Amino acid sequence: MSITLIVFVLVYLGMILGTLPGLKMDRASVALGGAVALLAAGELDQAEALASIDFGTLGMLFGLMLVSVQLQIAGLYAAISGMVARLDASPPLLLALLTALVGVLSAFLTNDVVAVAMTPVVLAIALRRGMNPLPFLLAIALAANAGSVATIIGSPQNMLIAQRLNISFGGYLVYALVPALLALVVVWAVLALAYRGRWMLDHGDAPKPDALPEPALDPWETIKGLLVLGYILYAFVFTEWDRGMAATVAGVLMLFNARFMSRTMLERVDWDLLILFVGLFIVNGAFAKAGLATQLVAWLGARGIDLHDADVLFAVTAVMSDITSNVPTVMLLLPFAGHDPLSAPLMALASGLASNLIIIGSLANIIVVDAAAAKGLKISFGNFAKIGLPVSAVTLAIAYLWVRLVVAI
């Protein structure tokens, strides 16, 4: 067995488990360790390693992270989530408004940052009102994943797919907008049905609410962030500019700031995710160089599994996204997606919507579950799946049928 294959298997085992047995490593460090091991073993040289890294995707991701951080520090997320949560409306209506808000934000900004910023505000306000926070917290996680599939900048894997397969913003929107909107409706309907009659907490069992985390909204910094986001969207939709460079320039512009320390902004960038991307680019590059990807396709093809078929790729992406996580899954399967133009939207929809199935399906899910646990509100693996399974199953079916309908029309 070649060194490349051994490293590849160990790295993706780490993606499945979230670590390597006996070691305190996360997915990012596993991917980085695998990349360094391959370089040290001479399985590929430095030039080949650099050539395997998609700097355009990294630039898009980094730039949009900084814009999202700008809006988070400016207090936009906390302000609008607090405004919705304080409305004098029935719990089902509040749930609908929160689901829509999270979905829209996640379509244009990093969904994990949206979850981080909004979860403590919604949790604190729900507890102060004596409401059961669980349906609202779950709405944040599920809507963040569902809303992120709407655009090519809604999630890291969408950015990667769009960059590698040269998918236009508007072209992808034709396939993804309707499934994303309907997915948000499904999220609301499943949660409203599951928690009917359980909207309020018993006062004796209600956890003590924390002080409301309400950073003051900075109008100028918020406007600046929104204008820069508008520039990115303009560049993506109406120009032929390099998307990675456009997003990088926009993000770095946020660091030229008279109010927020650049160090504070950079500290909130998800460096682990960027390291994960770099490590997996190199590991997958070595895998392809060794001819193992071709052998894998031939082996699967002999068993009736054609990864070049868009329908097969949709199903495999959906299943594997809850095993190895969505970003590693897309990076592994993307080389097989260029043969059918439908592969790109189907992969993006499958990887995003499948994330709602189980807790470890996305970081947004983990953020919400951990926030609930900190207040003594347990969301078990099984309880999450009771909500996530119907949401994922229905939304994946909607997405597949819509894409096929668009093609038929």
pLDDT at 47: 92
pLDDT at 192: 95
**Is 38 within a domain?**
no
Residue found under tokens 């929160």? 98
**Is 66 within a domain?**
yes
- Give the number of other Cβ atoms within 10 Å of residue 90's Cβ: 10
Stretch 103-130: mean pLDDT: 84
Stretch 343-352: mean pLDDT: 93
The model's pLDDT over 165-203, given as tens digits with 9 standing for 90+, comes to 888 999 999 999 999 999 999 999 999 999 998 888 776
In the structure, what pLDDT confidence band is assigned to residue 82 with cuts at 50, 70 and 90?
confident
**Is 122 within a domain?**
yes
Instruction: State the Cα–Cα distance between residues 180 and 186, nearest whole angstrom.
Output: 10
How far is C-alpha 181 from the chain's CA centre? 17
Taking alpha carbons only, the member of 154, 70, 65 closest to residue 105 is 154
pTM value? 0.88
Taking alpha carbons only, the member of 292, 227, 250, 238 closest to residue 65 is 250
In the structure, what pLDDT confidence band is assigned to residue 21 with cuts at 50, 70 and 90?
confident
**Is 46 within a domain?**
no
Query: Mapping DSSP to helix (H, G, I), strand (E, B) and coil, where does residue 293 land?
Result: helix
Decide which of 408 and 342 is more confident. Answer: 342
- Is the pLDDT at 107 greater than 90? The verdict is yes
pLDDT at 89: 83
The number of domains in the chain is 1
Task: Judge whether 218 and 257 are in contact, CB under 8 Å.
Answer: no
The model's pLDDT over 209-234, given as tens digits with 9 standing for 90+, comes to 665 555 578 899 999 999 999 999 99
Task: Judge whether 121 and 162 are in contact, CB under 8 Å.
Answer: no
Stretch 362-366: mean pLDDT: 83
Number of alpha carbons in the 13 Å side-chain half-sphere of residue 32 = 11
Apex CA 379: angle with CA 376 and CA 382, to 5°? 150
Helices (H), 239-290: 243-253, 262-267, 271-289
pLDDT at 22: 86
**Is 403 within a domain?**
yes
Residue found under tokens 């949660």? 191
- Is the pLDDT at 49 greater than 70? The verdict is yes
The model's pLDDT over 273-307, given as tens digits with 9 standing for 90+, comes to 899 889 988 988 888 888 877 777 777 777 777 87
**Is 330 within a domain?**
yes
Q: Which domain holds residue 219?
A: 55-269+306-408
In the structure, what pLDDT confidence band is assigned to residue 20 with cuts at 50, 70 and 90?
confident
- Is the pLDDT at 369 greater than 70? The verdict is yes
The model's pLDDT over 133-165, given as tens digits with 9 standing for 90+, comes to 899 999 999 999 999 999 999 888 899 899 888
- Is the pLDDT at 400 greater than 80? The verdict is yes
The one-letter amino acid code at 48 reads E
In the structure, what pLDDT confidence band is assigned to residue 205 with cuts at 50, 70 and 90?
low
The one-letter amino acid code at 116 reads V
**Is 371 within a domain?**
yes
**Is 216 within a domain?**
yes
- Is the pLDDT at 208 greater than 80? The verdict is no
Instruction: State the Cα–Cα distance between residues 363 and 65, nearest whole angstrom.
Output: 15
In the structure, what pLDDT confidence band is assigned to residue 204 with cuts at 50, 70 and 90?
low
